[in-house]
Chain A
Amino acid sequence: MNAIVQNKHLFKDKVVLDVGCGTAILSMFAVKAGAKHVIGVDMSTIILKAREIVKVNGMEDKITLIQGKMEEIELPFPKVDIIISEWMGYFLLYESMLDTVLYARDKYLVKDGLIFPDKATIFVAGIEDGDYKDEKIGFWDNVYGFNYSPLKETALSEPLVDTVEIKAVVTDPTSVLTLDLHTCTTADLAFSCPFDLTVRRDDFIHALVAWFDIDFTACHKPVRFSTGPHTKYTHWKQTVFYLKDVLTVQQGENVECSLHNRPNEKNKRDLDIKIEYRLETDDPTRQAGGQCLYKMC
Chain B
Amino acid sequence: MAEKDPHNDLSDVSSSSDEEEWLDADREEDDEQETVAVISLLDDRVFPDALSMIAHCKDKYGLDFLGVRDRLQLDFYGTIKLINYIRQRVHEGATVSETDITTETLEDDRYLKPVLDDDALILCLDDLPEPKGAADAALSMMGDAIALPVGGGIGSGESALATEAPGVDTLLQKNAELQAELEQLSKQFGNYRLAVQQTLDQRWQADDVADDASPAAAGKDGTVAAGEVKKDDSEYYFESYAHNDIHEVMLKDAVRTNAYRDFIYENKHLFAGKVVLDIGCGTGILSMFCARAGAKQVIAVDNSDILNKARENIFNNGLSDVITCVKGKIEEVILPVKKVDIIVSEWMGYCLLYEAMLPSILYARDRYLEPETGLLVPSHASIWIAPLSDSDYVSDHITYWRDVYGFDFKAMQDGIYADTRPQIMPASAICGTPSAFRFLDLHTVTVEDLVFEAKWQSTLSDNVEALDGFIVWFDMFFATSRSDKTIEPTVTAQEWAASSPDHISFTTGPFGTETHWKQGVLLLDRTKVKEFETAPGKKIAGEITYATADNHARGLTLKVAWGSEEQEKQVQTWKLH
**B313 adjacent to A25 (CB under 8 Å):** no
Residues 145-189 of chain A, each 1 if its beta carbon lies under 8 Å from chain B, else 0: 111111100110010000000000000000000000000000000
Q: With A49-B412, A144-B261, A148-B313 as known contacts, state yes or no: A28 contacts B407, CB within 8 Å.
A: yes
CB distance from B425 to the nearest CB of A (A): 23
Q: List residues of chain A with CB within 8 A of the CB of B251.
A: 139, 143-144
A interface SS class:
helix
Q: List residues of chain A with CB within 8 A of the CB of B248.
A: 136, 139, 151, 155
Taking CB as reference atom, which chain A residue is nearest B415?
A: A49
B257 is an interface residue with CB less than 8 A from chain A:
yes
Q: List residues of chain B with CB within 8 A of the CB of A57.
A: 407-408
CB distance from B284 to the nearest CB of A (A): 8
From the candidates A53, A136, A147, name the one contacting B408 in the complex (CB within 8 A): A53
How far apart sit A1 and B248, CA to CA, in the bound complex (Å)?
38
How far apart sit A165 and B265, CA to CA, in the bound complex (Å)?
40
How far apart sit A146 and B318, CA to CA, in the bound complex (Å)?
10
B455 is an interface residue with CB less than 8 A from chain A:
no
A13 is an interface residue with CB less than 8 A from chain B:
no
How far apart sit A275 and B527, CA to CA, in the bound complex (Å)?
54
A52 is an interface residue with CB less than 8 A from chain B:
yes
Task: Tell me which residues from 106 to 158 in chain A have a Cβ below 8 Å from any Cβ of chain B.
Answer: 136, 139, 143-151, 154-155, 158
**B411 adjacent to A151 (CB under 8 Å):** no
Among A52, A136, A145, A151, max chain B CB count under 10 A is at A151
A192 is an interface residue with CB less than 8 A from chain B:
no
B289 is an interface residue with CB less than 8 A from chain A:
yes
Among A53, A57, A158, max chain B CB count under 10 A is at A53
From the candidates B283, B292, B405, name the one contacting A151 in the complex (CB within 8 A): B283
A261 is an interface residue with CB less than 8 A from chain B:
no
CB distance from B254 to the nearest CB of A (A): 9
Residues 234-271 of chain B, each 1 if its beta carbon lies under 8 Å from chain A, else 0: 00000000001001100110000100010000000000
Q: List residues of chain A with CB within 8 A of the CB of B261.
A: 144
Residues 163-192 of chain B, each 1 if its beta carbon lies under 8 Å from chain A, else 0: 000000000000000000000000000000
**A150 adjacent to B407 (CB under 8 Å):** no
Interface size of B as a range: 20 to 34
CB distance from A159 to the nearest CB of B (A): 13
**B411 adjacent to A56 (CB under 8 Å):** yes
Q: List residues of chain B with CB within 8 A of the CB of A151.
A: 244, 247-248, 283, 309, 313
B486 is an interface residue with CB less than 8 A from chain A:
no
From the candidates B247, B257, B407, B414, name the one contacting A25 in the complex (CB within 8 A): B407
Q: With A23-B412, A57-B407 as known contacts, state yes or no: A147 contacts B316, CB within 8 Å.
A: yes
**A147 adjacent to B317 (CB under 8 Å):** yes
How far apart sit A147 and B261, CA to CA, in the bound complex (Å)?
16
CB distance from A223 to the nearest CB of B (A): 16
How far apart sit A145 and B405, CA to CA, in the bound complex (Å)?
51
Q: With A25-B404, A25-B405 as known contacts, state yes or no: A146 contacts B288, CB within 8 Å.
A: yes
**A150 adjacent to B411 (CB under 8 Å):** no
CB distance from B246 to the nearest CB of A (A): 11
CB distance from B263 to the nearest CB of A (A): 13
Q: List residues of chain B with CB within 8 A of the CB of A23.
A: 409, 412
Q: List residues of chain A with CB within 8 A of the CB of B247.
A: 151
B410 is an interface residue with CB less than 8 A from chain A:
yes
Q: List residues of chain B with CB within 8 A of the CB of A154.
A: 244, 309
Q: List residues of chain B with CB within 8 A of the CB of A1.
A: 405
> B: which residues have CB within 8 A of A?
244, 247-248, 251-252, 257, 261, 283, 285, 288-289, 292, 309, 312-313, 316-317, 404-405, 407-412, 414
> A: which residues have CB within 8 A of B?
1, 23, 25, 28-29, 49, 52-53, 56-57, 136, 139, 143-151, 154-155, 158
Q: Which 8 A-B pairs have the closest CB atoms?
A: A52-B411, A150-B312, A147-B316, A56-B408, A53-B411, A146-B317, A49-B411, A154-B244
